[in-house]
Structure 1
Amino acid sequence: MENPRRGRSAWHACKAAVSEALAMGILALNFVARDFEKPKMAICAFCQYAPKNGYKYEGLIMNGAGNTKMGKTEWQIAQINIGRLLAPHGDARVQPFFDALDRINAMADGAPGFVWRLQSETGNATDVQATPDPLIIVNMSVWTNTEALFAYVYRSGHAAEMSRRRAYFERFEGAYQALWWVQKGHQPTVAEGLSRLWMIDRFGSSPFAFTFKARFAEPGHIE
């Protein structure tokens, strides 16, 4: 796909790409523009492209996240990661993973910058069936910023457990982790998280869905 930041034609290409996702029912997203009759003056909520004409990023609506308005919107970082277990819960090959869950989740709950995590009545999300495949499990959470999330994932006791991922999970084909910005107070749905993984698989990292290796600042951020 053409670089969405190059100009008007790229804006149309970018819009078409997201329209494809809308048609498939993967995304729920509206483009925000000052004037929908003049695409060159519009703001694309997918790539956040804004022509150099004085117009600024105005906002977006996606998957129930609400309206983002110009000015003092507070942003937090959401993440999803998924994996396919080598065996179902109860199998000795993956039991050490399940045995460590309560300790790892308690570590997350007490970590600096932690806001929210997906969980069922069991206190974790391993019984949340996100796809038709019962061996795929999903983890989702929200943090105050990418630095806090990175510190928990790679610089806490969680890192040791993560290093044993290959012992419990199959090698995953496609994107298995995605980060994206949400408004403060928003709790993303599983469908929303899966749509971000799809975006990375389809387009690579972008302001709409990215990874630690290719991070994007919160919407409206000015260097």
Structure 2
Amino acid sequence: MSQYHLAEINIAKMKGVDINDPIMKEFVDNLDLVNTLAEKSEGFVWRLKDDSYNATNLNPYNDEQIIVNVSVWENIETLEHYMYKTFHSEFLKRRKEWFLKFGKAHTAMWWIPRGHIPTLEEAVEKLDYLQQNGASELVFDLRTKFPMPVIA
């Protein structure tokens, strides 16, 4: 059993003025399905959610157009399987229908001790660090992955 899990944050800037904008309807209508699929996926550990069962009401960037997702997975492979080999991939293919091009890093990943649950503030700090400093063993993205730390 690994001593580490993979934490990730991803953000997106909506085309709509907020999550209730009609342009976001199909995306919103499928959130519960996509989130349930994540929770039932192999390797899933935890995800950030509020009283509405998702994180769409959380606003750490003080911008109604930015939505945030934070989750924890056993490893990179299980996260990527969920992202690219399940129904979730259909939404990735269609993201331009709902979201604007972000222009900077919008996904960050980092290794956490098994059992640690990242706070939203911690996740935002990791993404900010990646945006300012680039990928390293401290925080990285899907293009520049770093392996799980080895315990000597």
| One-letter amino acid matched to 2:26 | P
1:85 to 2:11 alignment: no
1:198 to 2:152 alignment: no
What TM-score results when the alignment is normalised by the length of structure 2? 0.93
Equivalent residue, structure 2, for 1:185: 115
What TM-score results when the alignment is normalised by the length of structure 1? 0.65
Report the Cα distance in structure 2 between the residues aligned to 1:207 and 1:221, rounded to whole angstroms: 14
Structure 1 unaligned runs (5+)?
A: 1-71
Shift of 1:89: 2.4
| One-letter amino acid matched to 1:105 | N
Task: Judging by fraction of residues, say which structure has more strand.
Answer: 2
| One-letter amino acid matched to 2:67 | I
1:161 to 2:91 alignment: yes
Report the Cα distance in structure 2 between the residues aligned to 1:184 and 1:113, rounded to whole angstroms: 13
**Which has the higher relative contact order, 1 or 2, with Cα contacts under 8 A spaced 6 or more apart?**
2
Greater alpha carbon shift after TM alignment, 105-114 vs 163-172: 163-172
Report the Cα distance in structure 1 between the residues aligned to 2:103 and 2:127, rounded to whole angstroms: 12
1:95 to 2:25 alignment: yes
Q: Residue 39 of structure 2: which of 109, 115, 118 is its match?
A: 109
Report the Cα distance in structure 2 between the residues aligned to 1:83 and 1:134, rounded to whole angstroms: 11
Shift of 1:178: 0.5
Q: Runs of 4+ in structure 1 displaced over 6 angstroms? A: none
Identity of aligned residues (%): 35
RMSD of aligned Cα (Å): 1.6
Task: Judging by fraction of residues, say which structure has more helix.
Answer: 2
The C-alpha deviation readout for 1:98-142, integer Å capped at 9, x for no partner, is: 001000001001000000000001100001111111111100100
Q: Tell which structure's C-alpha radius of gyration is larger.
A: 1
Shift of 1:73: 7.2
Task: Number of aligned residue pairs: give it.
Answer: 151
Structure 2 unaligned runs (5+)?
A: none
SS at match of 1:93: helix
Report the Cα distance in structure 2 between the residues aligned to 1:167 and 1:120, rounded to whole angstroms: 25
Report the Cα distance in structure 2 between the residues aligned to 1:155 and 1:215, rounded to whole angstroms: 19
